[in-house]
Chains A and B, each alone.
Chain A
Amino acid sequence: MASAISSEPVHHIALTLSDQLPALQVLIPFVAAPLVVFFGVRSLAWPIAFLASLGSLAVSVLLLQSVIDGSEISYHMGGWAPPLGIEYRVDTANAFVLFLISAISSVVLAYARGSLKAEVPEKSHTLFYALYLLCLTGLLGVVITGDAFNVFVFLEISSLSTYVLVAQGSYRDKRALTASYNYLIMGTIGATFFVIGIGFLYMATGTLNMADLAERISEQRDSRTIRAAFAFIVVGIGLKAAIYPLHLWLPNAYVYAPSPVSAFLAGTATKMAIYVLLRFMFTVFQPEFLVEIKILEAVIIPFALIAMFAASISAFYQRDIKRMLAHSSVAQLGYMLLGIGSFSHTGLTATIIHLFNHGISKAALFMGAGCFVFAIGATSYDKLKGLGKSMPWTSAAMVIGGMSLIGIPGTAGFVSKWILVQAAFENGWWSFAFLIVLSSIIAVAYVWRMIETLYLSAPIQGMTAKEAPLSMLIPLYLMAFSTIYFGFATDITLEASKAAATGLLSGSSGLR
């Protein structure tokens, strides 16, 4: 271990607040979570949670601003220099994901205040917000850290709190408990695989710092231990990312969770996993390693294609709007994986921008679904018939989100699919470009089914639904309009994604 101690001088001991931003990113929600419990006052829980989330949003904006040009920030936790100490490392790729996570978290929290009243009894609210903040802490921590074992720790923080959050849905439907239990078992297997992979890496290299790992792995690419580590990590994180055959936990978890949890998870959890996948594949293992082993061609691309179709078709046949959205998420993750599989700058740009665009679209849609739960207590199609008339605002927002899901020009979803198609063309994958378009047509079908139910079916006799309150509609529309905004103003998202893709593909992790 002694050899691992860096001989470089310690860069700086951060003194000003702005130097502490990487730590604050995680610390704000992390400290706020016990505060919520400590005060224990129901009326204070939400404001604290919301402020903490806003705080980390502000931090993430500042971070993104300072690294959008492709630069990096290395933060040494407690002043301990890496590789011995824990390092937080912010580059464009993770700053962008941090922004996505904290933005969605803030909007969903604003929305949760109204939505939760209908779904979870008041006595549980305090703990709910504490867990929500812990989950946020975990997600942010996974993304920001530059230490492989730290990823696992934060992953477990977010996962454990997620299991409890999903189980909160049991007040509405008891099946949330089984869903949560299944997710727990599966998530634990995934995390175990991941930590086994990390263990192998440590065995082979004696370090846990990502940048350090990268350097040492490149020296012994043929090692069986390293290769086994790679397989374990990809499969373990693949489960969290709901790669096609490993997605089975996802629909039930999303369907039975309370609506704000569904919206939050759909917008962030799988996106975080995709980010970790990218980080390990490209930064820790390096692009050259990926070229040598055929994991992209043999696993990622085929399953991405299967996901695009099988999950889309499943989405079409669902009878419940939340379940449809969940299956559609699996399909959309297929697009992101296809972008990774294309192994080019454009492809990675597509993955990262789709990660963002799909995150906001899906969050908007799940928030809309939550408004239906609020109003009529159900999300199955036969109960939603004709609600376009009595709940015009919610329904319209669902249509906007649905258009982004399909990728209609003028919405965020179009931008990412357009770039993905370009990536396919660049590689000469004409048939894949065609398949992307073809699977989008299935998306048209399942979104149309939703629209038909809402607008073109006769309302159920005696059904009186009232529009959701403004406290839910405003966050919903904030999210829905942002899908349109990012469909036109592509500067920020595109610039960030391109810079992130450049950073990932160069394989370097900065300072060295």
Chain B
Amino acid sequence: MAMFDILPTAFIFFAGAIIVAFLPSGRIRSAISLLIPILAGWQVYNLPAGEFAQIELFGQTLDMMRVDKLSRVFALIFCLAAFLGNLYAWHVRDTVQQLAALFYAGSALGAVFAGDLVTLFFYWEGTAIASVFLIWARGTEAAYQTGLRYLIIQITSGVILLAGTALIWRETGSIAFEQMTLRSIGTWLIFLSFGMKCAFPFLHNWLQDSYPAATVTGTVILSAFTTKLAVYALARGFAGTEMLIYIGAIMTLFPIFFAEIENDLRRVLAYSLNNQLGFMVVGIGIGTEMALNGTASHAFAHILYKALLFMSVGAVLFRTGTSKASELGGLCRTMPRTAILCLIGAASISAFPLFSGFVTKSLIIDASAEKHYTIIWAILVFASAGVLSHSGIKIPYFTFFGHDSGLRPKEAPINMQLAMGFTAFLCIFIGVYPEPLYALLPYEVEFHPYTTGHVVGQLQLLCFALLAFAFLMKTGIHPPEVRAINLDTDWIYRKFLPNTIAILYKGFTSLWENAANIVKTGLRQILNLLHKIHGPEAGVSSVRPTGAMALWIAVLLAFSLIISYN
């Protein structure tokens, strides 16, 4: 194996993790795990564009470091996210979680820089294996089960990726990770694999299942990498694939309804994450320079504000032991700083002007308008309003305001506040002064977010949504159990939406349960049968009398003789 011309960024994390493993648990260790992302970020920022660290294996070139503007912007935000996540987790003294976070971030970076599908596969599985420990670290039986389910899906995604790679290699003789078209089974498999990680509709359940199950700090770290890695991979491989526009549009829509009726705030955020991914996927599907810029910048901003929201809800969970909307409320009295920071995150995700979501999301929405996808445009606008409803209002309102739960927890620990404060600062900074971010994007940016049209349009949408919310809450028309409102369509759906959802939900759930039961009993019967045949007691693997064995050899000989004589 040749030596590398430059050290792959992922290895900085891996080496760091090994060093961390040998340090005693404590401040030095936390400090080192902060230093690693800084080092890596510095390296990424200074890397020239090009392809480095190529190694020869099985006659194929593995390209460990493909640096261009697309991979660089994702790598930078990953370094930043790793830093913020580790700062937030400064107080954690759990070796497993600390190592897992570093390996996880390192694998995600490695995957972003992978110039060929085999390297991508390695890191793809790396993220899966490293991240599951963040879920298992919670130590409950439920978390263990959830982690297993998560791991199975993530590994399956990797295996499908490998299968697709093999097919593409057979077909073209190349394993380079480049733009693909959905023409062969191989590319379809890779598309499916990316889709699983990107939580496409019907492949999304792992996300809402696992993220709320992880530890307080683990969720923050989980939220940054896996899905955005998938977004990057789609942007690299399938930009301009029209189907993605419709998949993305569905992704922006359906989580809204589930987020409205969900009580666990971390799960609400997981649904909202899914919805935000939808915007990015639409951007990839449109595939114009503007849209891809939108996707990259939205991923950048999204990682920050989503992390901020998960951090603030995490801080509440850390202090109160619950993240259920129905058990929280009125915490702004004793956690004012967390409340304010949470509001900043909420404003960013709702795309208020001067906050990061505004300057990035409008790129995607405008790109859809520019290419005359009118219906898609409308869906995205509607989904934006939905975001405000469940993430912008529901999260802060039911946690820090609303009815007083009587809980009087302490303010969040200082390192959490620092992490949140820094993230919040970045959210506002990007919102106010987006040019540095725009300069990082893959293509030249000719976009001015702060035109009168944009600002007024967005404010109209937001203000009316807020007004409606306030009005409904004051007059009590809005039933208190359904603790959110659906803005544009509210006047149509107010009466029957909850019922429809309930019926649909019930129907779907029972259908799902029935199907799952059938599969389960089927599987159990198969397993029982296998056990009967192959188990230690019986059949195939039991200790046979010598005569039985001799019989077999006679049978096989007779068979071979017949075959030979024909």
Q: Which residues of A contact B (CB under 8 A)?
A: 178, 181-182, 185-186, 189-190, 193, 224, 227-228, 230-232, 234-235, 238-239, 243, 245-246, 248-249, 251-252, 293-295, 298-299, 310, 313-314, 316-319, 323, 327, 409, 418, 421, 425, 433, 437, 488-490
Contacts and interface: CB of A to CB of B under 8 A. Distances in A.
Given A227-B565, A294-B563, A313-B534, A235 B159 contact: no
Contacts of A182: 546, 549
Contacts of A318: 536, 541
A425 B185 CA distance: 14
B515 interface: no
B541 A185 contact: no
A310 B564 contact: no
Contacts of B530: 313, 317
B248 to A, nearest CB: 31
Interface in B516-564: 530-531, 533-536, 540-541, 543-544, 546, 548-550, 552-553, 555-557, 559-561, 563-564
A294 B562 CA distance: 10
A248 B552 CA distance: 9
Residue of B163, B531, B544, B561 with highest tally of chain A CB at under 10 A: B561
A220 B175 CA distance: 48
A246 B546 CA distance: 11
Nearest to A292: B564
11 contacts: A189-B553, A193-B553, A228-B561, A231-B563, A245-B556, A248-B549, A249-B549, A298-B563, A319-B536, A488-B57, A490-B57
A189 B551 CA distance: 11
B559 A299 contact: yes
A501 B3 CA distance: 32
B428 to A, nearest CB: 44
Contacts of A246: 549, 552-553, 556
Given A181-B546, A293-B564, 12 more contacts: A178-B543, A185-B549, A227-B561, A228-B561, A231-B557, A235-B560, A313-B534, A316-B534, A317-B534, A318-B541, A409-B121, A490-B58
A176 to B, nearest CB: 13
A186 B548 CA distance: 10
Q: A interface, by DSSP: helix, strand, loop or mixed?
A: helix
B177 interface: no
B541 A251 contact: yes
B560 A231 contact: yes
A508 B535 CA distance: 46
A409 B556 CA distance: 36
Contacts of A313: 530, 533-534
A429 to B, nearest CB: 13
Contacts of B429: none
B552 A245 contact: yes
B92 interface: no
A294 B560 CA distance: 9
B170 interface: yes
A318 B535 CA distance: 7
B171 to A, nearest CB: 11
Contacts of A316: 534
Contact of B546 (A186, A231, A310): A186
A94 B536 CA distance: 37
A295 B563 contact: yes
Contacts of A293: 563-564, 566
A317 B556 contact: no
B139 to A, nearest CB: 12
A224 B565 contact: yes
Given A317-B535, A327-B541, A231 B561 contact: yes
Contacts of A295: 560, 563-564
Interface of B: 1, 57-58, 121-122, 159, 163, 166, 170, 530-531, 533-536, 540-541, 543-544, 546, 548-550, 552-553, 555-557, 559-561, 563-566
Contacts of B549: 182, 185-186, 246, 248-249
A317 B553 contact: no
A488 B1 contact: yes
Contact of B534 (A178, A224, A314, A433): A314
Nearest to B118: A409
Contacts of B535: 317
A425 B170 CA distance: 8
A186 to B, nearest CB: 5
B166 A421 contact: yes
Contact of B564 (A231, A251, A327): A231
B540 A310 contact: yes
A317 B561 contact: no
Contacts of B563: 231, 293-295, 298-299
A299 B184 CA distance: 35
A193 B557 contact: yes
A313 B560 CA distance: 26
Contact of A232 (B534, B540, B544, B557): B557
Nearest to A330: B541
Nearest to A185: B546
A248 B544 contact: yes
Residue of B531, B550, B557 with highest tally of chain A CB at under 10 A: B557
A314 B560 CA distance: 26
A252 B543 contact: yes
A270 B378 CA distance: 68
A239 B553 contact: yes
A433 to B, nearest CB: 8
B541 A314 contact: yes
B205 to A, nearest CB: 21
A249 B553 CA distance: 12
B541 A235 contact: no
Contacts of A294: 563, 566
Residue of A182, A317, A323, A490 with highest tally of chain B CB at under 10 A: A317
Given A227-B564, A294-B563, A299-B563, A235 B58 contact: no
A235 B564 contact: no
A317 B564 contact: no
B151 to A, nearest CB: 11
Contacts of A227: 561, 564-565
B29 to A, nearest CB: 21
Contacts of B166: 421, 425, 433
B540 A314 contact: yes
Contacts of A425: 166, 170
Contacts of B565: 224, 227
Contact of A317 (B57, B170, B536): B536
Contacts of B566: 293-294
A230 B564 contact: yes
A418 B166 CA distance: 10
B514 to A, nearest CB: 27
A434 to B, nearest CB: 9
B26 to A, nearest CB: 23
